[in-house]
A and B are shown apart, each in its own frame.
Chain A
Amino acid sequence: MNIKNRKIIGQVLFIFLAFYLDGLIKWAFLNNMNRGTVVILPQLMLMMIVMLTMRIDNRRQLILYGVIFGVIYDSYYYGIIGLYTVLLPLLMIGIDHFKFLLVKNNLGYELSIYFLSLTFLQSGIYLLERMLQQTNTSIFDFITYTLGPTLLWNIVVFFILYIPMNNLSEWLVKYRRDNK
């Protein structure tokens, strides 16, 4: 197996790991079912995907990742297909399109891009679910009790995990940089 395929398998494995961690963290630590209106949604898979999108230059590969992981996420966690399936590839194309503006990856840039993607994704999901009458939460409740806490939690986690995630994603994509 050549190095390229091995790197791709590595990328897929780590995205999957982050995918499972999303559900398990929600289940084990953020499982507020009895009391409390605040909803925190861990989005580690998005974190991993944003980091990889910043480094992978092949747009076709990105779209493929987006669609496949989007379908799996929707089917396994939401039971409705069409939320992540559409929003995730769109987001990745968006990042890919504008990343030439960034001179060099650093914490500040990636944090703000992650912040924007998270806001885009959660708002998109809210709008779609609202339109399909899966929820009757008002927009203010959504911002106060879901979007706000989710952003806060995830940004803090991103901040903590940035250095290992940065090294990991560099390592997972690195051979492209060498060949160029």
Chain B
Amino acid sequence: MNAKYETHEHDVLIIGAGGAGLRAAIEALAQGASVGVVCKSLLGKAHTVMAEGGIAAAMANVDEADDWRVHFGDTMRGGKMLNNWRMAQIHAQEASERVRELEQWGALFDRTKDGRILQRAFGGHTFKRLCHVGDRTGLEMIRTLQDRGVQMGFDVYMECAVTRLLKDGDRIAGAFGYWRENGRFVVFKAKSVVLATGGIGKAWPITSNSWEYTGDGMALAYDAGADLMDMEFVQFHPTGMVWPPGVQGILVTEAVRGEGGILRNKSGERFMERYDPKRMELSTRDVVARAIYTEVREGRGTEHGGAYLDISQKPAEYVKRKLPSMYHQFLELADVDITKGPMEVGPTCHYMMGGVKVEADTAASSVPGLFAAGEAAAGLHGANRLGGNSLSDLLVFGRRAGLAAAEHAKRTSTPSLDLGQIEEAERTMLAPFERKDGESPYTLHADLQENMQKLVGIFRTEEDLRLALTKIEELKQRSTRMTVSGSRMFNPGWHLSRDLESMLTVVEAVTRSALARRESRGAHSRIDYPKPDPSWGKQNNVISRRGESMELRQVPVPDMPEDLQSLVIEEKKGSAA
């Protein structure tokens, strides 16, 4: 490569160091590949660290009747049958082994009385299924994977952001990025690239997501020619903090409800009786989020516009042991002692079911050499994800992506890098410094968030979505005039200007997909089409890039084999619908 650019070469380059990225790295290393991991933050700080409730795996340690088949059925029903059945099958079959593996690498889960991994109840899961460590399961997982990967010897490029995927003809050739610390550019040459970049929550103002969640992987894949799928399905977690303003959106784990927490409106009514009398607080997230939103909209909300969530009927010591970080979070940030009184909670943008369209078995995208896993990928969760299925997703498909990426690297010759692409990527990054008197990226970001919160939230209408698209078009125009001040050294304004480009791509994909889907299903609720439409139940929305414009098409949901179909139906009879 040109001496002008710092260049690193690997068989497999992994973008993102959360659960999926680290698990992919471990597997690719085990296959003998040379592995580089690039992450926007320090190692160990990825969003996985915030996961609280647990990892869903049908280990049957607590409820003996549990089995991968039941987990599969729960996942498909939770996703309103839009899931890729093969992914749901692989996930349910492999999750237990992935959890045991974590334990063998040093993770310490909470225990049953007879010394096995303890499992707790969660929304939409028929049995007690979530392996957990109090309410800090994600931290345990990321530390375990991080220590394992470091010991196996991957190269980590911390605080480094990828802004463009590089291609050699049709196939992947590497990536271009910058070091956050000094703003210098860096080039990675790789036979395989795994996108493990997580979700898109930062496009909404009220979100449980960290700043990193700007849809980078989906936008990079889209720009490189890969397909995106199910982009209309954005999960609003029912319980985020609503007060005080500074903490709005911070997650209140579903484990509060899993451990017996009760939801009430301002008049003390246990309102879930009206929305899902059978499953109550442990209904699926889409249902509970809509219920709280509806209670507030119809004037039955709490003082600060939420619902009450109460766990104080349980012994104080139990609450502190099973939900320690919730106890401290409310005490320190909201002056509320959750062992004595209720929390105020409301929906917060939490998870992206959609993402890069991948092959079920290999996590391969439609671009040769490009893979995606975890939240950045689509398919497993369909129209709504069950709590706990995300951490297991990261492990199961992170591993498969790492395996397939390493195998692809073995079969492939070294790609060549195209200086033209690199120079163009550099020019794009430097442009905001050269413009004068344009808008601040922070203003643009605030406007983008307001647009999404108001027009593309929990409840959607054709009118709102059309208006949102117009606004997104305006924001795209304004983004070409963004100005950044200061130097290239650790400059958050500059970093945000690039993250905004990713967000603008994904919010357009979300809005277009939401506009097309004229029905309500899972996390996608249309006021103008309030019922599910069986014909839409057989189609996924797929987005791809055609020149400068975004193309949307429908592809049929893959047909499920009969033996699996019977599992979904049988379970339907046996458990709550």
Chain A partners chain B? no
